[in-house]
Structure formats: structure tokens, C-alpha cells
Structure 1
């Protein structure tokens, strides 16, 4: 769901919603949503043998490269490396 879609459900404008969201939570709507996607990707990486591209699509990323960039930005490592380090 985009910020515009969230704003349409909640507030009078996208910019108002984004400011109010950041004021309330300390992070932007996009950052919050990306955090949820990364958390979901971590759960899938640790619990199934699905291909990275499948996990990327299932968690709402445009493609595997998009997930890898976002994942590295949050965790400091790639999804594949994270999976190897957290294999149970």
C-alpha cells in the first residue's frame, strides 16, 4: 500500500499523513513499511528454502535486487548471507 493510499484512508493529504505518522512513530511511512517487509523476509529466510526471488515477491519487493538493497541497508548484510548465518 502506498503512502497516498494510506493517506486517502486516514487524513486530508499525503503530506499531512506523512508528517503526522513520522511525528507519532519516529519513522516515515515508507521506512515503517520497509521494516515490516524486512521482518517478513527474515522470517521466511529462516523458516523455508524458498528462492530469494520468491521471498522478495512474497514480501512486497519489486524484485530480488530491490530486496537485497533494502535488506543490506537495514541489516548490514545480504539476505543470502543472513540466511547462511541463521541456518538452524
Structure 2
């Protein structure tokens, strides 16, 4: 099942397009998940955006650093990396 999210203001956040390209969204390597998806479908403002990826954490960090996006290893044991874009984490 593929669900295309409706247009939403958070999808225009500064740096989000670059971030999804770095994480390989076009190739199916990453997806929007969590509260951003839920809140968009419910029509609620989105506070932060979570992206799940099939990439190993170290590769995510390397890709982010290569793209000059700050990578913060907030939960490596769980595979969690925080990417800090111009719009914030």
C-alpha cells in the first residue's frame, strides 16, 4: 500500500527537500513516518518530521555530513540520527 500525503506546509520547510534527496527518498530508501504523517492526515500542525530509512546509521551520518547537514547521533543504539536543517532539527 502506497499512500501519498496531501500537500502540507511542513513539506516546504527549508532544507527538507535536500534532506530527503540525501536520504534517497526518490529511490525508496526513506519515508516520512510518525507524528508528521498522523498529524497531516488529521489536519493538525506538524511540530517535527521523522524520516525512516533503510540505510545503516553510519551511512546516514556520512551522507548528511557530505551534504553539509549537521548530524547528531541522538540514539545510535536505536539507529536514531537527528539531522539539523536550516529550519531546525
Greater helix percent: which structure?
1
TM-score (norm 1): 0.30
TM-score (norm 2): 0.30
Rg: which structure is higher?
1
Greater strand percent: which structure?
2
Higher relative contact order (CA 8 A, sep 6+): 2
